[in-house]
Amino acid sequence: MVIIVVASKRPIVYLNFAGQNVVLLNTKEVANELLDRRSANYSDRPNNIVANYLGGLLVLPLTRYGKRWHTMRRASHSVLNTAPLTSIQRTAASNMVSMCYGKPPLSSDEPILQKLNDMAHRLTTSVYPGTHLVEIFPILDYFPSFMTKWKRDAKEDYKKFTTFFEQCFEEALEHKERASLSVKLAEEQIKTGLTDLEKVWVSGTLYLAGYETTTIVLAWLLYVVTIYPDVQRKAQEEIDQVVGRARAPTFGDMEHLPYVQAIVKEVFRWQSPVPFGLPHASMEDDWYEDKYFIPKGTICIANIWSINRSTNIYGADAVEFRPERFLNEDGTLRSDEDEHSAYGFGRRICVGRHVADNSLFINIATVLWALNIVPSTDKEVPQEQKRDSLRDIMNRPPELQRNFIPRFPEVEGILDDMISDMVVQPY
């Protein structure tokens, strides 16, 4: 697995992986300049051989910049912009499955979750330079199949992924009364111009791209409200004042719960789920500030971890967890100009970021409305992880044993009624 040094005072750091040019973008200024303002040149993805065999040519976040990417991106925007909010109101994993395939809320041991989790892990561990030997020595791709087990496995996984996505898609169409992204994609196929294969992979990709990161952020949310009881208390006071105890929070409460929204934003900033995002690639030679030459085909990686902890942007306490940094003095939410960078940059910014924000808000708001969360051990709880290198592209919280205590007697009944409505009502 790739190990990348995180800390650097230089705006751009040049790396070399067996002849492959790689630049690490360490400041928001340089990331905005290259990936946003010059996005026409930096919206491509590296040609990742293993990921391509696994399905990367059909996985929207990994698809090379071009006609197919534009078509799939537009289709994703179309269905996500019309996604019903009620289908978001469930736990993170079930949330994404419900939205994509119109299924009721799922338990963590459901076979569909196990399969999709395996797919997400297989793809996310294949995208960084140096992860697989064939990315360093591309000539290995031309060896016969009997000599390249990695290629046989990747091709077989692609067939399994496609078959599974097709089955899920067809099952969704059998229940059109349930509003889902798959049904919407089928209804708008002529309008979007997607092929049958692209259609099922767009639906599957929207899950794959959203599940792992959303689940990790939700885990971090539960982590921070456990180790920072004052944050938990402030959020619960705000929820009690706005929502009360006769019902659970809804999306109608969202604008009236700025502190809860600030907690979500601060978790994204403080513990970015993908500290280096997904690599971009330059399509033509370029210069930055007339002193940094970036050749065509250079892999460009935004150091989101460093950017989100910049003292120039977030102050001297940037390494601390403090939701108030996203609030104005009057307690209202600050503008999007002060947003974190966890969703990426330019034309490759996360297409489902608004859905993710809504999902995480309703999940943590409901949890804090219903439960007090306390550590189940007297041992000191670590509040920060040392981060000198990265051995996995995903940033997961440490294991933490905790107790969930109902805040008032009516909690169980109200939640049971809410879950029953989600299962029996079309959404």
Q: Residues forming the annotated binding site?
A: 350
What pLDDT digit, counting tens, does each position of 266-283 carry?
999 999 999 998 999 999
What is the rounded distance in angstroms from the CA atom of residue 353 to the CA atom of residue 334? 18
Give the length of the chain.
427
CB 237 within 8 A of CB 404: no
Q: Residues forming the annotated binding site for heme?
A: 350
pLDDT at position 427 is 33
Report the topology of domain 12-384+393-424. Answer: Cytochrome p450 (1.10.630)
Q: What is the DSSP letter of 88?
A: G
Phi/psi region, residue 244 (left: phi>0; alpha: psi -120 to 50; beta: rest), is: left
The enclosing H or E element of 404 equals: strand 402-406
* Structure tokens given for 91: 């736990």
Q: Give me the helices (H) in 7-140, please.
A: 28-31, 39-42, 49-51, 67-81, 92-101, 111-124, 133-136
- Give yes or no for residue 101 having a pLDDT over 90: no
What pLDDT digit, counting tens, does each position of 318-360 carry?
999 999 999 999 999 998 766 899 999 999 999 989 888 998 9
3-class SS of residue 406: strand
- Taking CA atoms, 196 is separated from 73, 201, 210, 400, in Å, by 16, 9, 22, 44
Q: What percent of the chain has pLDDT over 70?
A: 83
Instruction: Tell me the domain boundaries of the chain.
Output: 12-384+393-424
Average predicted confidence (pLDDT) for the chain: 84
What is the rounded distance in angstroms from the CA atom of residue 216 to the CA atom of residue 349? 18
pLDDT at position 210 is 74
User: Measuring CA to CA, which residue among 238, 213, 209 is closest to residue 225?
Assistant: 238
What pLDDT digit, counting tens, does each position of 286-310 carry?
999 989 999 999 999 999 999 999 9
pLDDT at position 152 is 94
Count other C-beta atoms under 10 Å from residue 173's C-beta. Answer: 15
Q: How does residue 67 score in pLDDT terms, banded at 50, 70 and 90? A: very high
pLDDT at position 136 is 83
Task: Tell me which of 395 and 126 has the higher pLDDT.
Answer: 395
End-to-end CA distance of the chain: 41
Task: Produce one character per residue of 124-137: b if its CB has 16 or more CB atoms within 10 Å, e if not.
Answer: bbbbbbbbbebbee
Task: Produce one character per residue of 105-119: b if its CB has 16 or more CB atoms within 10 Å, e if not.
Answer: bbeeeeebbeebbeb
CB 236 within 8 A of CB 242: no
* Structure tokens given for 250: 């809804």
Q: What is the DSSP letter of 128?
A: S
Helix 111-124 × helix 92-101 angle, to 10°: 100
What is the rounded distance in angstroms from the CA atom of residue 215 to the CA atom of residue 206? 14
